[in-house]
Structure 1
Amino acid sequence: MQRSLSVHIVKQGLQSGLTKFFGRATRAALIYSSDVAEANDFSVYDTTGLLEKYKPDISAYFQSADAVPRQTKIDKISETVRTRPRLSNDLYCLIEQSNDVFFHMWFVEQHQSESPVSLLDQWILFAQLPLLRPDGEMNIGTQIGGGRLAEHAAFDVVREVIMEQMFPRTLAGGQADAEIVLESLMEIATVKEEGSGCSGTLAIFDRNPTGQPKVDYPLKTPVAIDKFKHVRKFLTATSDDYQLVAIAGNIVGFSHRKSIKSPLLASFDRGKLTLTLNKVPLCQISNGTFKAIESKWTLDINNQTKSLSRLDAATKLRVQEFVNKLVTTARNEHFGCTLLLDSGEPCKRRLSGQKLETPVALNEGTLKLFSDMCKVDGAVHIDVNKLHLCAFACLLDGESGDTEELSRGARFNSAQRYSRKTEDMVVLVVSEDGPVTIFEGGETAAVIEKYVRDHECKHSQPKLSEWLNSK
């Protein structure tokens, strides 16, 4: 029972930490063995139903010749075995076998993101740490580990990825360098001077003597990167053409952007920090909070809607571009809204709201006005044929149905009810915490991520063979 509770606490912490990091609800599951005696069958811990649709893929994996348990007997492990089977594009899987964990097969929802998957590796490896303790020690240790995963592990995860790719453990001072650099970058981005955050670019190299950059304008005396005020003033001297250069924990000068390419690039924009590692976007840091770099949300008119798919190609493109920009703005600024995408006869719709005397054309110049109107309580009515804003603060009504989720709140359910009674209308709902739902004819046409409901701890977990055969 204690092992089940420990797994539950750690999995909840992992889900919470990943949800905050990716900005969208993220589920996790675990197939594991904590004892050599369980080598022939494993326990399945999946309280959110994440793995249900992947049963055939998981079954096929365990029956394949490549399955890790077949290759390595648990009681004969001499070194850590780690592999990442590719089961699905939207499910990340990491398997580890060692004397410490015996067998762990972790699953995490994989969202579209520009950040590297090596971040997921580190999240999972940190999740394993509290489960390495003997059963007698797991209670306090697991609670601490689960809480750290939920609240503070993002710093450790990003540091480990930077250290792994840039400051290797074999390099003297590597761990200290990565820690100092990351803490200093956060402090530089967070502290405001004269009322605003700093802007500029800092290129960072490790202290490897064989790979030092040629600095165009070196400083006579290097400045430590943790001298925050000095570094902030230096950053004001950078521009689109120049960047500040650091070697490990020291600022050494300025260089033309095109003359050197650094392993780690820190871009500051009025207090928001974006890290790029080996030319791959790593993460963003704002007000001390780490976030993955999210791929832009995309409305797929042809595959996600029926009424809008009948629009001509040029109109489809314009609608998609504008809606995508608005939804991305709403998700980035964390406000909820409801869009009524009307392909029928908008002028004849009877809506209770603020109707504009002259509809406003939606374009780059009016995007800010439109997004501000979306923040007002109520829905925004759009004529998609002309791409005009017709009304805002619209109240939606309709009869309740069997498919409603009352726990989702008024915005979600009123949108679904209105959609049920309205033809030639796509109703798109953006929730404040990220999820996007598209309704058409009262039915859910598309869901961009789901909520994680995971409060129940299962003390009795099915064995793998039993779970695979269950319906």
Structure 2
Amino acid sequence: MSINTFTCHCIGDTLDGLRDGLSHFSGPSRAAVVFAITGNASMYVFDPQHLLSGHEPRLKELYVENQTWRDFPSIQRSSLRYNHIVAEKNLQLTGLISYGGRSGAVYYQMWFTEHHPDMCSIGPTERWLEHAAWRFSHDMASESALYTGISGGFLREYATHAVRDDIVDRMNILLGWDTRLRIYPILDAILELSRTREEGAWPRGKLVFVEPQSLDSISFLAHFSTAEQPSLENIKHVRKLLAAVEQSNLKLISDGYNVAGIASDNLPEFTITADFRGGHGFLKVIDDQICSFADGTYQSTTRRANLVHLEEALLETDIDPEAGNTLFKIVAALVHQAEDQKHGATLVLDLTPTPIAIAGQRFDSALDLRQPAILDLAKSLSRVDGALHIGADQYLHGFACLLDGHAIAGENRARGARYNSALRFTAEHDHIIVVVVSADRPVSIIQSGIEISAACQWKPLSCRINQPVHLDKWVDHNDE
């Protein structure tokens, strides 16, 4: 069965919307899909940005050499036209999240996107891919005469729905279907609270949502009378109450309708917690972090620096792997401290056998950063103007260090002195990696005068410039 223009249109719209939506939720993201319209049709792949590059052997094993994916109980196209999909779960491919399903309209489909290393959870993204499968199946069942072309629009704006769907799935496992918790109003209230200031301050503290029937089991420190419980819709009132639990172990307790009181421990088995931390916050179900929120939107990020490029750079050096791992943990601790305290910092990783001389404040003898007390001291010293000088021996050799060098072509005046000084310094010194933490920008990993953390392996392209291709031909072509 060949792929006609209508199918190409559906798959292109769906993939465009999916990719755009996930890029806002998780940062720049690609998407791809493999599918077969009927049980005896060829398997096709649509991967316009080469997301699946490197996974050809596994895909060949799954779909070309092994035909068991066709061995599925007969799906009647007439009986499963619109909304019933038999799920096909994550294939567990390295660096990818995948989810798909089978239906009367599309016999088999599997959608893919990137598994970013700084994701709180893959749950919302899996729900996003699941909805992409549902939209594609629905469009194919509708056929060209009834095609509306709105699937891409739905998927672009699916963030809150993806978070809600993940929470509902978790909630149904623990509480069953008979629950009175209203998830959409809860998610809307959290976003409204996150952007509501009180006397100029952003909200801090924890607001915990529990099943209404569980309220009687909570040992409240302070329980508000039923007639005076603030409505969750009264955002300003709830925002004022958050001040009572700021910087403490206390929590506001809500049943999704009203704020019932203040408690600390011994909460019910199932809870949804909004942890407000000033300009951002985190959403948890029980103890699992689902996503973060900021600027009125939900996002997948842990709001921690992505240091995977540093980890890779250390692996490529001659440093002992165990020592490299320790060094990475030291740098990660310093970076995360600077992020949490919202101050800039510069860390010079000197991987030369004998640390080079850098102008700055030095010690009588270097300090061992493997000692917790010394690491805490280094966190404090990172606030001082200038760079920390860290050797391959995991010792701190100096602080308030000045990085100089000649001007180079890759400088960016919009990035400030820390960033450009690091570019110049690393351009003139081999075996040096500089980590720059800016208060208002992502962390930059710089080596040999280049920001290696800024490297991009793909370009955003419209999906409509490509068409699905036979999977067996795609595999053979990419293996060449």
Quick check: TM above 0.5? Answer: yes
Alignment of 1:260-279 (within 5 A): 260-279=268-287
Aligned partner of 2:299: which letter? K
The 8 Å contact of residues 60 and 475 in structure 2, kept in 1 or not, is answered as yes
Would you say the 8 A contact 1:398–1:414 is kept in 2? Answer: no
Worse-superposed segment, 48-57 or 125-134: 125-134
Match of 2:121 among 94, 104, 116: 116
Question: How many angstroms apart in 2 are the aligned matches of 1:260 and 1:145?
Answer: 35
What whole-Å deviation, never above 9, does each CA across 1:208-258 have from its counterpart, x for those lacking one?
x47853342432123321122222233222363432211232222222324
2:263 and 2:361 mapped to 1: Cα distance?
55
Tell me which moved more, 119-128 or 361-370. 361-370
Identity %: 19
* Contact 1:436 1:449 survives alignment (8 Å): no
- Cα 1:347–1:434 change in 2 (3 A) is closer
Paired AA for residue 466 in structure 1: K
- 2:232/2:257 contact within 8 Å kept: yes
Q: Deviations over 1:152-196 (max 9, x none)?
A: 32111112222333378944765xx11111111221221101000
Give the Å deviation of 1:32.
2.1
Q: How far does residue 84 in structure 1 lie from its aligned partner after superposition?
A: 1.4
Are the equivalent residues in 2 in contact too, given 1:204–1:247 (CA < 8 A)? yes
Say whether the 8 Å CA contact 2:43–2:63 is kept in structure 1: no
Matches for 1:127-166 after TM superposition, within 5 Å: 127-128=132-133, 130-131=135-136, 132-133=138-139, 134-136=143-145, 138=147, 140-145=149-154, 149=156, 152-166=157-171
Alpha-carbon contact 2:284-2:291 (below 8 Å) kept: yes
Where 2:224 maps in the other structure, the secondary structure is strand
Instruction: Give the stretch that moved more between structures: 387-396 or 411-420.
Output: 411-420
SS at match of 1:223: coil
Q: Which residue number in structure 1 is paired with residue 414 of structure 2?
A: none
Distance 1:333 1:381 in 2: 17
What is the DSSP-based 3-state SS (H/G/I as helix, E as strand, rest coil) of the residue aligned with 1:62?
helix
CA distance in 1, matches of 2:443, 2:69: 36
Q: Map Cα deviations across residues 22-81 of structure 1 (whole Å, 9 max, x no partner).
A: 3x4322211124x44x74212211111111211111121225779443224555675521
Q: For residue 45 of structure 2, what is the aligned residue in structure 1?
A: 44
Query: 1:424 offset after TM fit, Å?
Result: 3.1
* Cα deviations by residue, 1:80-135 (Å, 9 ceiling, x for unpaired): 21121434242222121112444321111213356333212211133345533333
Distance 1:428 1:274, change over 3 A: closer
Partner of 1:304: 315
Residues 414-449 of structure 1 show CA distances to partners (whole Å, capped at 9, x for unaligned) of: 989986874333456889975866757x999x8698
Query: d(CA) in 1 for partners of 2:436 and 2:70?
Result: 45
Q: Which runs of 5+ in 1 are unaligned?
A: 350-354, 375-379, 401-410
For residue 306 of structure 1, give the secondary structure of its aligned residue in structure 2.
coil
1:405 alignment partner in structure 2: none
Change (3 A) 1:451 1:226: farther
Does structure 1 residue 464 correspond to structure 2 residue 471? Answer: yes
Correspondence 1:283-294 to 2 at 5 A = 283-294=291-302
* 2:39 aligned with 1:28: no
C-alpha separation in 2, matches of 1:115 and 1:73 = 38
1:80 aligns to what?
85
Distance in structure 2 (CA, Å) of the matches to 1:399 and 1:44: 41
Q: 1:329 to 1:396 in 2, by over 3 A?
A: farther
CA–CA distance in structure 1, aligned partners of residues 90 and 260 of structure 2:
43
- Output aligned runs, 1:385-400, within 5 Å: 386-387=395-396, 388-389=398-399, 391-392=401-402, 394-395=404-405
User: Mapping of 1:144-223 within 5 angstroms?
Assistant: 144-145=153-154, 149=156, 152-166=157-171, 170-171=177-178, 177-207=182-212, 209=213, 213-216=217-220, 217-221=222-226, 222-223=229-230
> How far 1:465 moved relative to its partner?
2.0
Alignment CA distance shift 1:453-1:73 (3 Å): farther
Q: How does 1:47-126 map to 2 (within 5 A)?
A: 47-62=48-63, 67-73=68-74, 79-113=84-118, 115-126=120-131
CA RMSD of aligned residues (A): 4.4
Task: Output one character per residue of 1:316-361: Cα deviation in whole Å (capped at 9) or x when no partner.
Answer: 73x4344224554788899999865223355457xxxxx5476898
Are the counterparts in 1 of residues 206 and 251 from structure 2 also a CA contact under 8 Å?
Answer: yes
Tell me whether 238-247 or 181-190 shows the greater mean CA deviation: 238-247
Whether the 8 Å CA contact 1:283–1:292 is kept in 2: the answer is: yes
Which of 115-124 and 6-15 deviates more?
A: 6-15
Name the aligned partner's letter for residue 59 of structure 1: K
TM-score normalized with structure 2 length: 0.74
Mark the CA change 1:328 to 1:20 in structure 2 (over 3 Å): closer, same or farther.
farther
Deviation, 1:468, is 2.1
2:430 maps to amino acid: E
SS of 1:165's equivalent in the other structure is helix
Matched, 1:227 2:227: no
Contact 2:194 2:202 in 1 (8 A): yes
Any idea what SS the aligned residue of 1:276 has?
Answer: strand
Q: Secondary structure at the match of 2:218?
A: coil
SS in structure 2 of the partner of residue 126 of structure 1: helix
**What secondary structure is seen at the aligned counterpart in 2 of 1:185?**
helix
CA distance in 2 between counterparts of 1:416 and 1:197 reads 35
Question: Residue 52 of structure 1: SS of its match in structure 2?
Answer: coil
Deviation (angstroms), 1:454: 2.8
Asked if the contact 1:14/1:127 (under 8 Å) is kept, the reply is yes
Aligned to 1:408: none
The equivalent residue for 1:382 is 389
Question: What secondary structure does 2:113 align onto?
Answer: strand
